[in-house]
């Protein structure tokens, strides 16, 4: 079979530290001419950017002279800024190798260890996962029953997935702009399974992986468990900074980069087409495998559903891209049904890897998936309409009850990414449980402990009345006062 994607070898040899460009940093900072004393304001701004995840940890800050030139200020001012950052624990210097970002000692992970999956009476805003109407599932089960006879007499082992399901998934990619044959598809038990298979095959402990900050926490956890070293690039409410992504790929040459370009979890951002093309080119140059998580791609609420990421590659340029997808958000997480698209040769290697762990997926589940994918044109529009209504209800309730929070309405996906105006997300999440709301603070989605304390992901996957009640409870928790964060958690503002 002619493989439409080229399989390229990856150079793991060159690894280097990362430097933040002086112009990149200056663009994020206020004008020193307008502040007195400038050095304090600048240091405070840099520490806030670090805490908010916009400046990654463990990157080298620009040389003092270069930053002074970019900011049109004196070298002495920048020296004072760096001194203050070092004193307050946001930077440290290495002999002869510059000044690097870090966090003050004593900061601990926030919320990361909170167990998901507890069943109690609290409104659950910790998960952004819609349910499936029981009747839809029951109908699908009835529909597959006559097909079972055709499978029952076979071995039932399909490490690549049922051939007819692979064909349907391949056809969906082709319709989304990327010609795909079934040999490029591996059916998996969800998108998370697809990611762990890929990491298991392509990465070794200690390898670098570029991730977004914030990102999907279970993906980050899988990387921690695989003992990979993450280098993060920021995603803010305005989206991605492609220059930073390009320079990170160039400077750190990661083995793999994991991105969620479609209605990013948790920010809701949608990556523009031109940025996709630039990232594809940059990854090709650094020999990095791109793992593109399209779990949320079909949840387009205000815009047309995006074409698949790799369709923006130059001809033959999709060979370094692995795309993962899932039915968990379009249909139901309980199906445990997902897939990946990769060069056919890689799919063969991944199938061998999955045989070593689970031999293959359940035939029954795959028949259900086939039936439900066949009905997606009928099932998806009402789901999107329901999400729009819930998003509207959540936004209205927040405006009414907690007007001091700010957020942007995401064009798709399942949640709002609220800015609380102060770093209280962990304290609020902890207190919210006493008021009957389970929710995770922004730190849960952060790549490093102590970051994104000012953010809260609020899913709109519950019915409108439940969302309104949840917001009322959060407002009451806030009004009653939050516990003072413990010293380990207290942000170390410079003032």
Ligand X SMILES: Cc1ncc(COP(=O)(O)O)c(C=O)c1O
d(CA 143, CA 140): 5
285-294 burial by CB neighbour count: b if 16+ within 10 A, else e?
ebbbbbbbbb
Instruction: Write the DSSP assignment of 61-130 as a string of letters.
Output: PPPHHHHHHHHTS-HHHHHHHHHHHHHTTSEEEETTTEEEE---TT----STTPPS---SSSEE-S----
Q: Tell me which of 293, 365, 430, 462 binds ligand X, using CB under 6 A.
A: 293
CB of 215 to ligand X, least distance (A): 8
Q: Which is nearer to ligand X, 18 or 383 (CB)?
A: 383
Q: Tell me which of 196, 230, 265, 321 binds ligand X, using CB under 6 A.
A: 265
Taking CB under 6 A as the rule, does residue 339 contact ligand X? no
Size of the site for ligand X (CB under 6 A): 13
CB of 458 to ligand X, least distance (A): 15
Q: Which is nearer to ligand X, 288 or 295 (CB)?
A: 295
Q: Which is nearer to ligand X, 49 or 370 (CB)?
A: 370
341-377 burial by CB neighbour count: b if 16+ within 10 A, else e?
bbbbebbeebbebbeeeeebbbbebbbbbbbbbeeee
**Stretch 187-226 residues interacting with ligand X (CB under 6 A):** 190-192, 216
Q: Which is nearer to ligand X, 51 or 260 (CB)?
A: 260
**Stretch 171-190 residues interacting with ligand X (CB under 6 A):** 190
Bond from prior residue into 214 cis (ω within 30 degrees of 0): yes
**Burial of 186 by CB count in 10 Å (0-12 exposed, 13-18 middle, 19+ buried)?**
buried
Q: Tell me which of 284, 328, 366, 415 binds ligand X, using CB under 6 A.
A: 328
Q: Tell me which of 159, 182, 319, 338 binds ligand X, using CB under 6 A.
A: 338
Taking CB under 6 A as the rule, does residue 366 contact ligand X? no
Taking CB under 6 A as the rule, does residue 231 contact ligand X? no
d(CA 117, CA 234): 29
* 381: DSSP letter: H
Q: Which is nearer to ligand X, 17 or 239 (CB)?
A: 239
Q: What does each C-alpha distance from 42 to 46, 119, 318 come to in angstroms?
A: 6, 46, 42
Q: Which is nearer to ligand X, 102 or 353 (CB)?
A: 353
d(CA 263, CA 458): 14
Which window, 145-153, 288-296, 369-377, 434-442, contacts ligand X (CB under 6 A)?
Answer: 288-296
Going 388 to 393 to 397 to 400, the CA torsion angle's sign is positive
d(CA 390, CA 123): 15
CB of 331 to ligand X, least distance (A): 10
CB of 324 to ligand X, least distance (A): 7
Q: Report which residue's Cβ sits closest to ligand X.
A: 190
Tell me if residue 232 falls in helix, strand or coil: strand
Which window, 115-123, 141-149, 325-333, 379-387, contacts ligand X (CB under 6 A)?
Answer: 325-333
CB of 196 to ligand X, least distance (A): 9
CB of 188 to ligand X, least distance (A): 8
d(CA 60, CA 101): 6
Residues that bind ligand X (CB under 6 A): 190-192, 216, 260, 265, 293, 295-296, 326, 328, 333, 338
């Amino acid at each position: 079979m002619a493989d439409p994607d080229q399989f390229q070898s990856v150079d793991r040899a060159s690894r280097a530290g990362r430097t933040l460009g002086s112009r990149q940093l200056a663009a994020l900072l206020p004008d020193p001419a307008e502040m007195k004393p400038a050095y304090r304001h600048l240091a405070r701004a840099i520490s806030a950017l670090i805490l908010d995840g916009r400046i990654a940890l463990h990157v080298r800050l620009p040389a003092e002279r270069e930053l002074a030139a970019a900011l049109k200020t004196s070298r002495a001012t920048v020296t004072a800024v760096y001194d203050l950052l070092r004193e307050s624990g946001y930077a440290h210097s290495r002999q002869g190798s510059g000044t690097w970002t870090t966090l003050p000692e004593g900061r601990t992970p926030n919320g990361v260890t909170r167990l998901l999956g507890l069943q109690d009476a609290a409104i659950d805003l910790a998960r952004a996962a819609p349910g499936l109407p029981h009747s839809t599932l029951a109908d699908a089960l009835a529909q597959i029953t006559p097909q079972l006879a055709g499978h029952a007499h076979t071995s039932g082992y399909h490490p690549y997935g049922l051939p007819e399901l692979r064909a349907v998934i391949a056809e969906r990619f082709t319709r989304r702009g990327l010609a795909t044959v079934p040999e490029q598809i591996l059916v998996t038990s969800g998108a998370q399974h697809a990611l762990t298979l890929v990491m298991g095959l392509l990465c070794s402990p200690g390898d670098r992986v570029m991730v977004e900050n914030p990102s999907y926490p279970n993906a980050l956890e899988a990387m921690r468990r695989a003992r990979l070293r993450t280098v993060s690039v920021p995603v803010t409410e305005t989206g991605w900074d492609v220059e930073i992504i390009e320079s990170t790929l160039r400077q750190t040459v990661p083995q793999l980069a994991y991105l969620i370009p479609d209605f990013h979890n948790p920010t809701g951002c949608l990556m523009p087409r031109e940025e996709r093309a630039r990232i594809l080119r940059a990854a090709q140059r650094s020999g990095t495998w791109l793992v593109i998580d399209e779990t949320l791609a079909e949840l387009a609420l205000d815009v047309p559903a995006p074409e698949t990421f790799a369709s923006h590659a130059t001809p033959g340029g999709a060979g370094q891209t692995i795309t993962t997808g899932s039915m968990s958000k379009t249909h139901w997480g309980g199906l445990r049904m997902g897939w990946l698209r990769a060069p056919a040769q890689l799919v063969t290697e991944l199938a061998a890897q999955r045989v070593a762990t689970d031999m293959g997926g359940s035939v029954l589940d795959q028949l259900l998936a086939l039936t439900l994918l066949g009905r997606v044109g009928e099932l998806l529009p009402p789901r999107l309409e329901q999400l729009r209504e819930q998003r509207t209800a959540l936004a209205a309730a927040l405006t009414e009850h907690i007007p001091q929070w700010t957020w942007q309405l995401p064009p798709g996906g399942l949640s709002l990414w609220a800015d609380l105006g102060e770093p209280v997300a962990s304290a609020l999440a902890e207190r919210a449980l006493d008021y009957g709301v389970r929710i995770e603070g922004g730190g849960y989605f952060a790549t490093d402990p102590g970051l994104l304390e000012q953010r809260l992901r609020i899913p709109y996957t519950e019915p409108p009345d439940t969302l309104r009640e949840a917001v009322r409870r959060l407002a009451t928790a806030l009004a009653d006062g939050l516990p003072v964060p413990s010293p380990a958690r207290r942000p170390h503002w410079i003032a």
